[in-house]
Amino acid sequence: MDALLPTYARKAISFTHGEGAWLWDEQGERYLDALSGIAVCGLGHAHPAVATALSEQAQKLVHTSNIYHIQKQEQLGARLCEISGMEKVFFCNSGAEANEAAIKLARMYGHKKGIQQPHTLVFENSFHGRTMATLTATGNRAAHAGFEPLVPGFIRAHYDNIGAIRQLCAQHKQLSAILVEPIQGEGGIHIPSPDFLPQLRAICDDHDLLLMIDEVQAGNGRTGTWYGYQQTDILPDVMTTAKGLGNGVPIGACLTRTKANDLFKPGNHGSTFGGNPLACAAGLAVLDTIEQQQLLGHVTKTSELLLNTLKQRLSQHPLCHDIRGQGMMLGIELTQPCAEIVDIALEQKLLLNVTAGKVIRLLPPLIINNEQVELIAEGVARCVEIFAERQSN
């Protein structure tokens, strides 16, 4: 611990193993995981299909180089295009890297159109990663603090405010792209109006901008469709994903379509590890499992049950401001800051987190069953109860 830079205020707990939605700590205590390592382990822990794919691949080949053809990468690329409606893929190792690729594409697209200083429109309250460009794109001043000078080339608008966005895009001649989350995750589980993405699509078409959708958190089945934008009938020009794609094995992807397909030429972008056989074997196992186990339908059904159960137990509580969610991305917004709920939940052997100060965020594995839904709702309700008692003392 002492050897690590203090980038995280870590909880005094360490897990040794898991199975499905359960994790065990060093004392042998069992925890129900309603966070999935922040939207990563969608299939739950120690999933046999992923474990088998990894061990079989590790015994054959872990890494070569993108200097050569990589069969597993081509397979996963084709599969991702098939399920997303996108056409080309670049593989990397994280969400931030996937967004870096998107931001570089936006600049290339701008230059191709003759824009001298191409800008990307991003949103207040967004999260896109921790590298310099993605940190700048992130709409959270606290994340910027201390890292100035930030990267130029971004302008910011309010999420889900189409009127203002339309006006900005009409005025700002240096814009070449819009980067947007289909649901703001870190920002507090903000689900935009149903026509927000279609309206952004129309604005991008009107002004010849790339619509770039950040599916790092919402993607790979979490909202009940493969990708969040598939809740609408639009397609982006660029889509980024990571978190759930490898069920814990680091992998990210930046996908393109039509006018974004041929911007990068050999030498413009790259990654040493990106799309190596091991990570792609994991990605293929994840997508196959989501399909074979019909997890998209399961997520939609289970989400409704979880939302209803949470509402039954919590909506009358004086501290409860709002309960919202899509698929396995849910937020319970309280009327006041509630960071302490994370520790209270740990005492209840339940893993969740609090984001944007007062939103209890649930990102359970896609595979949770009805009994676990009850346990999560009951656990969250108990946490709010205990929190309220401690507040009044």
Q: Which of 33, 214, 237, 333 binds ligand PLP (CB under 6 A)?
A: 214
Based on the shown chain and the rule CB under 6 A, indicate whether residue 160 belongs to the binding site for ligand PLP.
no
CA 81, CA 76: separation in Å to the nearest integer? 9
Tokens 């009805």 sit on residue: 370
Q: Residue 28 is which amino acid?
A: G
Based on the shown chain and the rule CB under 6 A, indicate whether residue 100 belongs to the binding site for ligand PLP.
no
Coil vs helix vs strand at 190:
strand
Q: With contacts defined by CB under 6 A, how many residues of the chain interact with ligand PLP?
A: 15
Which segment (165-173, 178-186, 257-265, 284-292) binds ligand PLP by CB under 6 A?
178-186
Based on the shown chain and the rule CB under 6 A, indicate whether residue 181 belongs to the binding site for ligand PLP.
yes
Six token digits for residue 128 = 């896109």
* Residues 233-262, interacting with ligand PLP (CB under 6 A): 242-243
CB of 366 to ligand PLP, least distance (A): 16
CB of 331 to ligand PLP, least distance (A): 14
Please say which residue, 133 or 310, places its beta carbon nearer to ligand PLP: 133
Closest CA to 378 of 350, 357, 354, 353: 350
Window 69-98: contact mask with ligand PLP (x via CB under 6 A): -------------------------xxx--
- What's the full length of the chain, in residues? 393
Phi, psi of 338 (to 5 degrees): -145, 40
Q: Which of 42, 118, 153, 185 binds ligand PLP (CB under 6 A)?
A: 185
Tokens 């109860």 sit on residue: 385
Tokens 């790979």 sit on residue: 220
Please say which residue, 49 or 143, places its beta carbon nearer to ligand PLP: 143
- Looking from the CA of 44 toward its CB, the CA atoms found within 13 Å total 19
* Residues 127-146, interacting with ligand PLP (CB under 6 A): 127-129
What sign does the CA torsion over 45, 39, 365, 232 have? negative
Tokens 């080309």 sit on residue: 88
CB of 237 to ligand PLP, least distance (A): 17
CB of 214 to ligand PLP, least distance (A): 5
Check if the beta carbon of residue 54 is closer than 8 Å to that of residue 72: no
Which residues make up the interface to ligand PLP (CB under 6 A)?
94-96, 99, 127-129, 181, 185-186, 214, 216-217, 242-243
